[in-house]
Amino acid sequence: MGQGEAIFIESPTGSQVIIDGGPDGKVLRELSHLMPFYDRSVDMLLVSNPDKDHLAGFIDVLSNYKIGVVLLPGTEPDTEVYRVFSRAALAEGAERRLARRGMEVNLGGGAVLRILFPDRDVSGLSPNDGSIVARLSYGEVDFLFPGDAPKKIENFLAAASPAGLKSEVLKVAHHGSKTSTADAFVAAVAPRFAVISSGKDNRYGHPHGEVLDTLSRFGVEVLRTDSLGTIIIKTDGHSLEIKK
C-alpha cells in the first residue's frame, strides 16, 4: 500500500475483515487480487487509526462494497479525509461500533479477533495513542495488530497482560517508527515474524534502525512491504506459510 497500511483477513469460513484501508484508492486494486470479482461484500472494516494513511482507501471500499460493520477506536480528528469517510460510511449504511477491550469478533471456523485496546474512552487522545490493538487467534497461531500504538501504550499492555500478547506474527506498530516497538512489548509478544508496512524510500525513514535493531536482538525475522510488496501469510492453525 506504499506509505500506509491495509491488512486483509479471511477466515476458514470465508468471513472477511480489512484492518485499515491505506492512503488512497490502491486498496481496490489489491482487493481484486484477493477476492473473486463477484464477491462485493466485506464483513468488517476496522479502522485502527483515523489518520489518512490508514483511512483514505476505505472511502473507495465503502463506495464499491457492501460493508457489514465499521469498527472505530473513538478518536475523531478534525480532518477533511475523516469527514469524507464518515459521510461515506453513513451513506453506505454500515453499522458503526466502538472498539473496546474484551470485545470478540467470531470470524468462524475457530478464528477469533479480540480487541485489547482501547480499554476506555479515547475521544480526547491523539489518533496514535488511541489506536485499536487487536489479536487474531486461530488454533495455535496468533497475529497481533497494534495500529500506530506508541511505546507508552505498548508498555501499558505488556505490564497489564503480557501473556495475552504472545503471538507468532507481529504487525510492527507505526510503520517501523522509533516511537513504537518497545523492548518490553516485543519480549511479551515473542514473535517469530514481524511485518513492517512502509513505503519504499519514504520521507519518514521508516523503518527506523532502532526498531530493526530491537527486532534483531529478539531474534525476530522481519518482512518488509517496502522491499517485498504484498505479504501473504496462511495458517492451518498449527504452521505458517509465508508468500513474499
Residue 227 belongs to a domain with what CATH number? 3.60.15.10
The helix/strand/coil state of 141 is strand
In a domain, 123, yes or no: yes
The helix/strand/coil state of 7 is strand
Report the alpha-carbon distance of residue 80 to residue 83 in Å, rounded. 5
State in Å, rounded, how far the first CA of the chain is from the last one.
15
In a domain, 1, yes or no: no
In a domain, 198, yes or no: yes
In a domain, 162, yes or no: yes
Tell me the three cell numbers of residue 51: 489518520
Residue 176: partners with Cβ closer than 8 Å, 6 or more residues away: 196, 198, 206, 207, 208, 211, 212, 224
pLDDT at residue 169, as a whole number:
98
Residue 186: partners with Cβ closer than 8 Å, 6 or more residues away: 170, 214, 215, 218, 220
Tell me the whole-structure pTM to 2 decimals.
Answer: 0.95
pLDDT at residue 244, as a whole number:
73
The boundaries of the domain holding residue 232 are 6-243
Angle at 135 between CA 130 and CA 138, to 5 degrees: 165
In a domain, 30, yes or no: yes
pLDDT at residue 1, as a whole number:
80
Structurally, the chain folds into a number of domains equal to 1
Closest CA to 27 of 68, 69, 55, 66: 55
In a domain, 42, yes or no: yes
pLDDT at residue 5, as a whole number:
93
Q: What are phi and psi of 64, to 5 degrees?
A: -115, -10
Q: Which residues of the chain fall short of a pLDDT of 70?
A: none
Query: Using an 8 Å Cβ cutoff, are 117 and 144 in contact?
Result: no
**How many angstroms separate the Cα of 217 from the Cα of each of 71, 173, 220, 222?**
35, 17, 8, 12
pLDDT at residue 219, as a whole number:
98
pLDDT at residue 222, as a whole number:
97
